[in-house]
Amino acid sequence: MTTPHDPTPHPASEPAPAGPLTGLRVLDLATLFAGPLCATMLGDFGAEVVKIEHPRRPDPSRGHGPAKDGVGLWWKHLGRNKKNLTLDLSSPGGRSVLLKLVAESDVVIENFRPGTLEKWHLGWDELSAANPRLVLARVTGFGQFGPYARRPGFGTLAEAMSGFAAITGQPDGPPTLPPFGLADSIAALATSYAVMAALRGRDSTGRGQVVDMAIIEPMLAILGPQATWYDQLGYVQPRTGNRSSNNAPRNTYRTSDGSWVAVSTSAQSVAERVMRLVGRAELIDEEWFATGSGRAGHADELDEAVGGWIAAHTRAEVVAAFERAEAAIAPVYDVRDVLADPQYEALGTITELPDPELGTVKMQNVLFRLSETPGAVRWPGRPHGADTDELLGGLGLSQAQIAALREAGAV
């Protein structure tokens, strides 16, 4: 028997404990990453998530990234804990079914261009009439209004327009985009927070509301006080590579066995420990060493001292020495290292699940641990439309009615 603190999956014979969002129903109408990942996060903690896809145009994420035997692996992660229903929302039959679902749901997540749901007569007026307690989360690149509202919006554009790319990369190199869905993932986290705030508001008012999430805004928020710096000082943060403009030494350094480590000295005491460790304690007495910004101004000198010492030792020797000195360091990992690391193993960060298509599949576990009402990954992403008949039957539709909807192309 697992405890509330144990993040490992429960055996098939033992149901996972009820998560804190058990009893909530979420309709995931969105595609690709920001909206669907928000729904995944809610499902991880007990919400019943119904993924709604077009009958003939599945969510494109099913075809993103590597696949095994024709099975998209990204979808296994993104579609976990979701039931799958096909529905053509632009058809009269699809519209009717969605409104029946909305009447029994708490949250709808969508990422169509502004005006699309309204064109199908499924805008906020119609949805809230079907369920006045509904929370509608609208996730778009630029928000529901403004001069860019109807532009196609993807995370890459947010990474560019937020200022992230401008400060990322080497000083003499081009602005650099991340090699993964950074903006979408941050928007998903922000949207899940916004949905929970809206649901808490519903507890007070009894009414649902609209969440307007523009992907450009959470991305801007994580960059720190950029607007305040510019407003007060005219300061525009430059590209500094792996260095920081706030402290030094802060960089990645190569070890004698060809590995890499990352060092951070945000705290003054840690910076002093590092310099003693690498045999350059005399630098601590320099006047400029007393502040992070002062040390950042002498990054070349500090990098030479730290990098030279690290280059003479193996990764294992470097990490062990830094740990003895209580200085902050981490090896630079790829996914192979993550899967072998004892700290990730202790936390239960990676879980392994049975899967009818792949046999078993490993993926990251729930994002955090709750002591009393933990989340759980109950199943990986299912095939397109796998739960359509079950869900429609749950709405009271007969087999003949379901067959008629299928004949009309609505499901």
Contact 71, 357 (CB under 8 A): yes
Give, in order, the Cα–Cα distances in Å from 306 to each of 103, 260, 271, 325, 327: 62, 13, 11, 14, 12
Whole-angstrom Cα distance, residue 218 to residue 192? 12
- What does the chain come to in residues? 411
The residues that are catalytic are 184
DSSP state of 288: G
* Among candidate residues 51, 122, 50, 137, the one with its CA nearest the CA of residue 91: 122
Whole-angstrom Cα distance, residue 129 to residue 131? 5
Whole-angstrom Cα distance, residue 205 to residue 227? 34
Interacting residues of 369 by C-beta distance below 8 A, sequence separation 6+: 5, 7, 347, 348
Pairing of strands 260-263, 329-331: antiparallel
- Point out which residues pair with 25 in neighbouring strands: 48
